[in-house]
Amino acid sequence: MSEKDPDGINSSSDDVEYHTYPYSYEDTKEEDGKQERASESNGDSSIEEAAIVAEPQNQAVPEQMDNSGRYEKKKASSDDSYTSQTPPVKKKSRKWQYIAIVGVLLLIIGSSFVLMHQALSGELYASNDKVAVIYVQGTLLTSSIPGGLGYATSEDISANIRKATNDKAVKAIVLRINSPGGSSTAGEEIYTEVKRASESGIPVVVSMGDVAASAAYHLSAPADLIIANPSTMTGSIGTIWTFQNTSGYYEQEGVEIYVAKSGEFKDMGGSWRGLSDDEKEYANEVVMEVYGHFIQDVSDSRGISLGDVKDLADGRIYTGQKAKELGLVDELGNLYYAINRASELGGIQGEPMVVYMNKPTLSSLLFGSESDTSTVDQFLHYYDESPYGQIT
């Protein structure tokens, strides 16, 4: 450096001094000493700055209570500053999703087994020794509505009797009856099929449950064996035809009805008027005709004289115990006793394969809602509100 410009700001390149390498150890030591003295002259401020810079490495850690109740300082790890700022995201559990998937799969598998079971007529294994159980449940009538909704149709029951009769593996049939009766025509139709099955060599056993009366007893008569419980309500052998007369209501409301008819008896049973004497006499003739068929079938099927049947057939109900004493029932027992007896009559050795042919299914129970019942009621309007009444 020149003496005129000690800072070397305005000096030319000719006045600048250059150091040449290599430095000597003494020169380096002298320069280090100058730097140390310069840093001491800066005072405490430099020390404080250095302390501030070094502080993150030695920062205080909050005390923590251990199990003995004493406080101790938690050692800070190198990752504390990171974890305190960005906590790790907890992985969402998929347990319930897996459970839902498994549940759906089990439902599908179970439904498949149910469909397979129904497709095989209630059996999973083939057998050459079967006892077919056919249910007669609810009010009897001629119709094509599905079973299990409070009605027993002659079409459904007759079709199942024929199906069982045509199956060479079926050795016997059990009719499980829980019905108060109903349409006389329906009872006659099923009676014909029961008689046909019995005459074809397939034993038919009737198992009476809570009630098997009127037309339900009629269809039971040709069976090879009738079994009831002691408290079963059966009998009620007879025929009835009812009419309504609401003419007083129409008169009170001022309603006039004119009927144009081709014959005297064409509007017989109309609710807007009562029956004439001739109509009453004719109604009695119809009832006695249907009644005659009923008691004749019972007499022929049960081996009881027509006179004795007439004595029993005044419409009264009998318990199973009393019906046995009167010859209307053969034995006392429940459904499983009836199945065993049918197996014996069919010549089955050992345990039979029981096939429940028209037992109410899961689908009929699930879909048998109030709306479905209402649809059935509308479908049966022809029977329940027939202008000719019901002969039962």
Whether 198 is a known active-site residue: answer no
The Cα-based distances of 162 to 158, 361, 371 in angstroms read 6, 20, 32
Q: How far is CA 290 from the centre of its chain?
A: 42
148: left (phi over 0), alpha (psi -120 to 50) or beta: left
Task: State the number of CA atoms in the 13 A half-sphere of 130 facing the CB.
Answer: 22
Q: What are the helix (H) ranges across 175-231?
A: 184-199, 215-220
Give the number of other CB atoms < 10 A from CB of residue 33: 10
Pick the catalytic residue: 46, 266, 276, 386? 266
Question: What are 128's two structure tokens?
Answer: 């050459």
Alpha-carbon gap, residue 357 to 167, rounded angstroms: 12
Residue 136's nearest CA partner among 159, 163, 154, 162 is 154
Alpha-carbon gap, residue 7 to 1, rounded angstroms: 8
H or E segment and range at residue 174 = strand 170-179
Question: What are 298's two structure tokens?
Answer: 């019972």
Q: Rg (Cα) of the chain, in Å, rounded?
A: 50
Question: What are 379's two structure tokens?
Answer: 């479908």
Alpha-carbon gap, residue 305 to 189, rounded angstroms: 23
The Cα-based distances of 154 to 139, 297, 377 in angstroms read 10, 18, 17
Question: What are 15's two structure tokens?
Answer: 């006045």
Whether 214 is a known active-site residue: answer yes
Going 259 to 262 to 264 to 269, the CA torsion angle's sign is: negative
Residues 239 and 184 sit within 8 Å (Cβ to Cβ): yes
Pick the catalytic residue: 158, 179, 184, 214? 214
List, by residue number, the catalytic residues: 214, 266
